[in-house]
């Protein structure tokens, strides 16, 4: 054993356990049970291997059950000292995830998944900073981004963003737990490391120019921090002017741009019947691209009989279409195509944030996000297939961020939406999702199981917790860790981009020093960003 390992604080020894349920550790007298916290890391010194593990529960034990029936006089400190660690003791419930040295595979190939348990009476110690670095990496580099610190530790927890963007990912937590700050941080990391370009559908205008903290204090958005690398689009020009936000493009949607596929996702929001949704396809076949305008001009009279559409169905559909027509950013025809403009920025490696201003109604959000995503995805698919057939460089990987994700990915409609397609295909066409939601149980089980990495803050619904942890090894133990998170600024991350689950405190965001730390490692020119992307993904 190295001198470093021998100097770590000894906590106790393994007394029982199993591979699936974890092991139990009896605390020694000098280790106070009150200092032990769920989510902390420990190492177990087995006879042949070292096990990197997490504390998932803390309990109390006694060697003589009579002590629970007739507690001793604790006013005498001597009695307490005599009983402590022998007749009464603390128990840690510990889940092992990795082996870090000891066997040849761990030494040659780095930390390996655990396939056995440590032997009886193996010594348990607090994990050192060096242990954390061995598992999660020493520091930030070209691909690794500092997202926070493991609970009760000063060591930096760095996330491999190149691995992160290979799959769709999710950020979850009830309202007010810090989802927005975590999202903003991951978006900055992706920008900073040039691992992909972001397209953010910013429902509450929190990511573009500036946002707000839980205390109501203004914090800088991505555009203020990285002015040359971020473009702000908006559907609410008046709101942007009022807030003195410099926008790069005003998004307008033409009647002729809306297709029946865009109506499918709006069925629940507009309270359309299934027959009304199906009727849009018939109307498109009859009227072509101008089906929406032509339908709105049709009278609710006997003339609709020629369309072979039930009168009640037609009225239901027309009510829904009138709701869309009343949206201020919907116009009969738009001279500039928003999809083309977004793609031009993304192709140049510039991240696009689309703000919704006053139009936070879910109908507006779903319509715009779905319409633009379907067309952008189609272009990416076309470019990727062409690049593969002609042996050319593929388009920059794209991460699309959506809020209120259960509206796009619920079980009833996810199989019919572009977002469900992207989530299931992983990175087939260089497009992935970052989904944000406070109700993960509303997302289809198949979709949520395809998310590569999940970051979850505190959740107060049992259904939401079960949904987030579905299919995860050691679910019951992680459930205990998740339940013990603080209400704000603590999170649990697990999945493809990290070697094992980590309970952590996100790094600071909002102070001058934090802004400097985010921007200091960013390349000074767009040329450098382009070179980094080509090297990573060319």
Categorize the per-residue pLDDT at 5 as very low, low, confident or very high, splitting at 50, 70 and 90: very low
Could you identify the residue written with the tokens 């009279």? 301
pLDDT in tens, 165-188: 999 999 999 988 889 999 999 999
Q: Is residue 70 scored above 60 in pLDDT? A: yes
DSSP state of 472: -
Mean pLDDT within 15-41: 90
Q: What is the mean pLDDT of the chain?
A: 86
Measuring CA to CA, which residue among 221, 214, 218 is closest to residue 177?
214
* Neighbouring-strand partners of residue 435: 170, 402
What percent of the chain shows pLDDT beyond 70?
89
CA distances from 264 to 31, 38, 63 (A): 60, 45, 64
Q: How far is Cα 491 from Cα 507, in angstroms, rounded to an integer?
A: 11
Distance, in Å, from the CA atom of 446 to the CA atom of 423, rounded to the nearest integer, reads 9
What is the predicted pLDDT for the residue at 422?
Answer: 92
Q: At what angle do helices 362-389 and 311-325 cross, to 10 degrees?
A: 90
How much is the pLDDT for 214? 66
Tell me the H-state helices in 89-171.
104-109, 129-136, 161-164
- Tens of pLDDT, residue by residue over 209-260, are 888 776 668 889 999 999 999 999 999 999 888 888 889 999 999 999 999 9
Predicted confidence at residue 134, as pLDDT, reads: 86
| Chain centroid to CA 105 | 32
Neighbours of 307 (CB within 10 A): 15
Residue 523: predicted pLDDT: 44
- The predicted pLDDT at position 6 comes to 45
Give the mean model confidence (pLDDT) for residues 464-473: 89
Beta strand 50-62 pairing with 41-45:
antiparallel
Say yes or no to pLDDT of 527 above 60. no
Using alpha carbons, select from 394, 464, 470, 463 the residue that is nearest to residue 428. Answer: 394
CA dist., res. 190 & res. 116, Å (int): 36
Determine the average pLDDT of the residues in 60-80: 73
Report strand pairing: 10-18 vs 22-27.
antiparallel
Nearest to 196 by CA among 398, 453, 376, 380: 398
The Cβ of residue 362 has, within 10 Å, a number of other Cβ atoms equal to 13
pLDDT value of position 302? 53
Residue 392: pLDDT band with limits 50, 70, 90? confident
**Stretch 388-402: mean pLDDT:** 89
Under the banding of pLDDT at 50, 70 and 90, the label for residue 524 is very low
- Residue 451's pLDDT is what? 93
The tokens of 449 are what? 């199981």
The arithmetic mean of pLDDT across residues 338-355, rounded, is 95
Is the model's pLDDT at 199 over the cut of 80?
yes
- % pLDDT > 90, the chain: 48
Q: Contact 158/144 with Cβ under 8 angstroms? A: yes
Whether 31 and 11 have beta carbons less than 8 Å apart is answered as yes
Neighbours of 211 (CB within 10 A): 21
**426: confidence class by pLDDT, cuts 50, 70, 90:** confident
How far apart CA 446 and CA 459 sit, in angstroms, is 20
pLDDT tens digits for 254-301? 999 999 998 988 988 899 999 999 999 999 998 999 999 999 888 765
pLDDT of residue 538 exceeding 80: no
Look up tokens 């605390």; give the residue: 27
Sort 381 into a burial class: Cβ within 10 Å, 0-12 / 13-18 / 19+.
Answer: middle
C-alpha span between 400 and 383 (Å, rounded): 17
What distance in Å separates the CA atoms of residue 520 and residue 337, rounded to the nearest whole number? 36
pLDDT(459) > 80: yes
Cβ–Cβ under 8 Å, residues 118 and 102: no
pLDDT band, residue 11 (cuts 50/70/90)? very high
Q: Taking the CA of residue 509 as centre, how many other CA atoms within 13 Å lie in the half-sphere pointing to its CB?
A: 33
Distance CA 335, CA 77 (A): 84
User: Does residue 39 carry a pLDDT above 60?
Assistant: yes
Lowest mean pLDDT across 2-11, 32-41, 447-456, 458-467: 2-11
* pTM, to two decimals: 0.86
CA distances from 431 to 165, 279, 405 (A): 9, 31, 16
Per the structure block, which two tokens stand in for 480?
Answer: 């205990």
- Please state, in angstroms and as integers, the Cα–Cα distance from residue 98 to each residue in 140, 413, 476, following that order: 22, 39, 18
What pLDDT, on the 0 to 100 scale, is given for residue 483?
Answer: 87
- Statement: residue 82 has pLDDT above 70: no
Structure-block tokens of residue 500: 């094992």
Over residues 116-144, mean pLDDT: 87
Distance CA 536, CA 141 (A): 13
Would you call 78 helix, strand, or coil by DSSP?
helix
> How far is 37 from 490, CA to CA, in rounded Å?
14
Over 90: is that where the pLDDT of 124 sits?
A: yes
CB burial of 5-14 (b: ≥16 within 10 Å; e: otherwise) equals beebeebbbb
Map tokens 């761990």 to a residue. Answer: 106
Burial of 109 (0-12, 13-18, 19+ CB in 10 A): exposed
DSSP 433: E
């Amino acid at each position: 054993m190295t001198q470093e390992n021998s100097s770590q604080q000894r906590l106790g020894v393994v007394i029982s356990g199993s591979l699936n349920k974890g092991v139990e550790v009896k605390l020694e007298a000098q280790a106070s049970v009150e200092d032990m916290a769920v989510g902390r890391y420990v190492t177990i010194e087995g006879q042949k291997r070292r096990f990197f593990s997490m504390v998932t529960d803390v309990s109390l034990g006694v060697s003589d059950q009579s002590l629970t029936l007739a507690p001793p006089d604790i006013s005498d400190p001597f009695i307490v000292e005599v009983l402590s660690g022998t007749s009464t003791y603390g128990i840690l419930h510990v889940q092992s995830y990795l082996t870090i040295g000891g066997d040849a595979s761990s030494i040659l190939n780095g930390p390996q998944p655990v396939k056995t348990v440590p032997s009886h009476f193996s010594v348990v110690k607090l994990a050192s900073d060096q242990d954390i670095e061995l598992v999660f990496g020493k520091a930030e580099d070209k691909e690794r981004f500092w997202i926070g610190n493991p609970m009760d530790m000063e060591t930096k927890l760095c996330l491999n963003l190149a691995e992160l963007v290979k799959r769709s990912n999710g950020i979850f937590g009830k309202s007010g737990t810090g989802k927005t700050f975590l999202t903003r941080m991951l978006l900055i990391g992706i920008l900073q490391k040039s691992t992909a370009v972001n397209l953010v559908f910013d429902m509450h205008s929190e990511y573009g120019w500036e946002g707000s903290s839980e205390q109501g204090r203004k914090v800088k958005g991505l555009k203020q921090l990285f002015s040359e690398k971020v473009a702000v689009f908006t559907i609410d020009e008046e709101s942007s002017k009022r807030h003195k936000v410099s926008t790069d493009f005003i998004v307008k949607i033409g009647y002729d741009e809306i297709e029946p596929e865009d109506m499918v996702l709006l069925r629940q929001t507009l309270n359309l019947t299934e027959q009304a949704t199906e009727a849009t396809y018939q109307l498109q076949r009859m009227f072509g691209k101008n089906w929406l305008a032509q339908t709105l001009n049709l009278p609710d009279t006997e003339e609709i009989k020629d369309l072979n559409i039930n009168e009640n169905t037609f009225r239901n559909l027309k009510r829904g279409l009138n709701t869309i027509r009343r949206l201020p950013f919907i116009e009969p025809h738009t001279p500039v195509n928003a999809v083309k403009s977004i793609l031009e920025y993304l192709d140049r490696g510039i991240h696009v944030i689309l703000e919704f201003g006053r139009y936070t109604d879910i109908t507006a959000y779903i319509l715009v996000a779905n319409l633009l995503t379907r067309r952008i995805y189609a272009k990416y698919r076309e470019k990727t297939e062409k690049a593969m057939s002609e042996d050319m460089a593929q388009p920059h990987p794209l991460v699309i961020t959506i809020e209120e994700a259960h509206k796009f990915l619920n079980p009833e409609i996810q199989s019919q939406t572009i977002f469900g397609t992207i989530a299931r295909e992983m990175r087939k066409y260089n497009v992935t999702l970052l989904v944000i939601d406070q109700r993960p149980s509303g997302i289809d089980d198949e979709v949520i199981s395809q998310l590569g990495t999940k970051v979850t803050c505190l959740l107060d619904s049992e259904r939401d917790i079960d949904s987030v942890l579905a299919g995860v090894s050691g679910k019951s133990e992680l459930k205990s860790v998740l339940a013990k998170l603080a209400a704000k600024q603590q999170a649990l991350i697990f999945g493809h981009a990290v070697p094992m689950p980590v309970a952590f405190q996100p790094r600071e965001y909002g102070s001058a020093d934090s802004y400097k730390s985010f921007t200091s490692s960013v390349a000074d020119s767009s040329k450098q960003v382009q070179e980094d992307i080509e090297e990573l993904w060319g």
